[in-house]
Amino acid sequence: MFKKTALCIALSTILVGISAQAATVYEKDNGDNLKLYGEVGVGGHFGADYEYGEFYKDDSSYIDDGFATIGVKGQTGSVYYRVEIDYERENWAYGSGDMVTAIDKMFIGYKLTDTKKSYNAIEIGLTDTALDDYDKFGDFTFDTTVETGEAGDQASTLKYEGKLSDFKMGISYSYDAESSSGSAVGDVVNGYVGYFSKYADIVLGAETRSGSEGDSKYGEQVLFALGARAYVTDNLAIGFNAYVEDEDIAQNRTLTDISDPMNSVYVYNDYQTLRNKGGLVSARYRFTEKWEFTGSYNIEAFENWDIESAYGVSPDKEYSWGKERVWGTLGVNFKPSPSVIFAVEGNIGESAQDAYAYARVYF
């Protein structure tokens, strides 16, 4: 699930923001409102490589990444809420490859304060975890760069977000969180602190989780993330994004129940800490109102890739890129109107695909 939200956030950095295109169902004088919004996207990945563990199949030609979402959001006094339904292709690793419908967001929020200088709100329900909003901060590209493996959207989340002057912060607690594949990871806490200015923004994030206590391979985890942007000129921005993560992964499992043949139950044991890290620098150049170019340089290293690590893959299964991978992206965005974008992003180096092409319309 978090892949998609990552993309949404990425887009929100490119586009004006979803609010701008929303259809207003009603809006009262006191500010209470209800708005309908959504998006339609077509496109996909060219030359995808299964080995990188990002896609559900090994298809070098094309993997569809069709996506649609429709949502309503509203506000009643200080209370705000949102329901969003996605129709998406499960094209990620271990996904089904089918188009599926999923409720992506379902939460109620309460604004404690909402002034130009200060904003404080809490949200409860199925929503982005706090760090999810900024995990890709500093990356101007679409989809094919380093991804910080934070918790993404989670049900049963309590989130606080606040803003004071040029500073923003957020923190969330998710009860019984799940991985993207639905495995238990325990409770998750994450958060960020950011400073935003006209010339540069910087966001520091962190996440930790309690682990599944033997229910899945996922044990405890601690993650730190850093994102930054600098606006060099009106048309050129450069960014930086990096993370480092210590994640406990079980090395051993024992089958304990096969009463449901489709869902065998294991007890996971012998958790060992694996360190994953990655970083990128990216840049965006706005050529005209409608045309812009993006580029990035990425480095990523998962301990599991490292044959020298006691917990890495065995040498006979070593990945083609070794213990770390380096790749670059170059993209072109064409925005004929503020709510439409055509994007093509090419990859070079040790990347999971050759290119990504997409068209999206927001409403």
Partner 1 sequence: MKKKILALAIGSVLSAGANAALSDIIISEYVEGSGNNKMIELTNLGAADYTFPSNVTLEYSSYHNDIYNAAKVNVLEGQKIDAGKTLVIYNGETEAEVITAIQGTKVAAGTYAEAKYNAMNYSGDDHVALMDGSTIVDVIGTFGDSGNDWGKDKTFRRRLAVGDASPAQNTAFDANNWLEEPLDTLSGLGDSTLAPYVAVVVAPSICGSETLTTIGAIQGSENSSLLADTTVFVQGVVTAVAKYPVKGLYLQDAVADGNIMTSDGIFVKTSKATDDLIGNTICLTSKVVEDYGLTELETDEWDVTDTSSSVPAATDITMIPEDLGSFKATLERYEGMLVNLPSDIDPATDGNQDMRVTKAFGFDYNSYRNNLIFSYLRPNMVPTQNNVAGSEGATAAHEQNKDYRLIIESPEKAADGEIPYYPDFATDPAKNYIRINDSVTDMEGVIAYSYGDFTLVVTNQVDKNNFKHNDDRSKTPDLSTVTEDGEFAIKIGTMNVLNFFNSPFGGDINTHGDNRGAESDADFQKQKTKIVAAVKGLNVDILGLMEIENNGFGSRSAIKELVDTINEDYYDEDPKDAENSNSTSNRYVFVGYDSNGDLVLDELDSIGGDAITTGLLYRPTKVSIESLKVIPMPEQHAPAIVNDSYIVVKDSNGAALESGDNYQRSTLAVTFKVNQTGKKLTVAVNHLKSKGSSCWEDWQGVEFGDAEKWSEDAPDLDFQGQCEAFRVATAVHLGEELHKIAGDKVVIGDMNTYAQEDALLVLTENTTGKALTTARDTFIGKKPQFNVSGTPVAVTKSYGYINSVLLKDTEKGRLSWSYSYNDEIGTLDHALISPSLKDRLIDAVDWHINAAESTLYDYQSKYKGDHVDALYVNDAYRSSDHDSAAISLSYKYGEVSDGEPVHLVIQDGAIKIPYSIPGSEATLAGDIAEISLSSENDLSKIVLPTVALTEDGQSLVDIEVFGLKAGAYNATMKLVRDGQLMPNFTTSMKIEAAKKDSTTPKVSPPAPYDGSGGGSFGIFGLLSLLGLGFLRRTKA
Contact residues for partner 1, defined by CB under 8 A = 173, 186-187, 189, 191, 206, 208-214, 218-220, 222, 224, 246, 248, 250, 254-258, 267-273, 275, 307-308, 310, 312, 314-317
**Strands annotated E in 258-324:** 265-286, 291-302
Q: How far is the CB of 47 from partner 1 (least distance, A)?
A: 30
Residue whose tokens read 């048309």:
235
Render the burial of 185-214: b for 16+ CB within 10 Å, e for the rest.
bbebbbbbebeeeeeebbbbbbbbbbbbeb
Tokens representing 55?
A: 């896609």
Using CA atoms, how far apart are residues 298 and 295, in angstroms rounded to an integer?
Answer: 10
Question: Of 182 and 315, which has the nearer Cβ to partner 1?
Answer: 315
Q: How far is the CB of 267 from partner 1 (least distance, A)?
A: 5
Q: How far is the CB of 278 from partner 1 (least distance, A)?
A: 16
Q: How far is the CB of 210 from partner 1 (least distance, A)?
A: 4
Question: Of 111 and 323, which has the nearer Cβ to partner 1?
Answer: 323
What is the DSSP code string of 176-217? EEE-TTS-EEEEEEEEEEEEE-SSEEEEEEEEEE---TTSSS
Q: What is the DSSP letter of 4?
A: H
Q: How far is the CB of 276 from partner 1 (least distance, A)?
A: 13
Are the CB atoms for 139 and 238 separated by under 8 Å?
no
Question: Of 103 and 258, which has the nearer Cβ to partner 1?
Answer: 258
Q: What angle do CA 119, 123, 128 make, to 5 degrees?
A: 100
Are the CB atoms for 75 and 32 separated by under 8 Å?
yes
Other residues' Cβ atoms within 10 Å of the Cβ of residue 306 = 19
Question: Of 168 and 209, which has the nearer Cβ to partner 1?
Answer: 209
Q: How far is the CB of 306 from partner 1 (least distance, A)?
A: 9
Which residues, 6 or more positions from 66, have their beta carbon under 8 angstroms from its beta carbon? 41, 42, 43, 44, 88, 89, 99
To the nearest 10°, the Cα dihedral for 27, 29, 30, 36?
10
Q: How far is the CB of 200 from partner 1 (least distance, A)?
A: 25
